[in-house]
Amino acid sequence: MYEDRFMDRAIAISATALDTPGTEPFGAVVVKDGEIVGEGINRSVLNHDPTSHGETEAIRDACRNLGTVDLRGATLYSSCEPCPLCVAAMLIAGVSELYYAADMTQAGAALGDLPESARFPIDVGHMLSQCGLPAPARQMTSARHQSARAADILHRWAGKARSPLLSSPGKLGR
């Protein structure tokens, strides 16, 4: 269930970008059992990491704080509608609910005409059109090589993960 105090925090985090070089105004919090368990702001430029969005940073922080990659039952509050990368991270982690403030249209109106020197351009529409496609159908060149070797390692790892010594519910990746 939505609570203003969590959105207030996400927006307050985004506002810190006004005075923090290398950050962008996208803030997020992860909430579980009524408490903030993770916070993040977009640090893509600061970290030289194009995946360092506010939502992914909040998810990383929550996972570290909780000691798990399983965020089922958690809610993410974001100052802006998440891009496909962030939605994918939420789905991978199992985030159950999302609430956001500004939408993509509002973000585009504010940021769309910035020069590339101020902000690396992200074409969300292009991301949406490509993410659900099988690899060979995407515009980015991709080709499969050495699949048998890689699949063998996957199967061997899965065999070890099934053994009682490595079983720890909620601690291993899904």
The catalytic residue positions are 55
Per-residue buried b or exposed e for 33-68, using 16+ beta carbons within 10 Å of the residue's own CB: eeebbbbbbbbbbeeeeeebbbbbbbbbbbbeebeb
35: three-class secondary structure by DSSP = strand
How far is residue 61's CA from residue 104's CA, in Å, rounded to a whole number?
Answer: 24
Output Rg (C-alpha) for the chain, integer angstroms: 18
CB 10 within 8 A of CB 78: yes
How far is residue 117's CA from residue 110's CA, in Å, rounded to a whole number?
Answer: 16
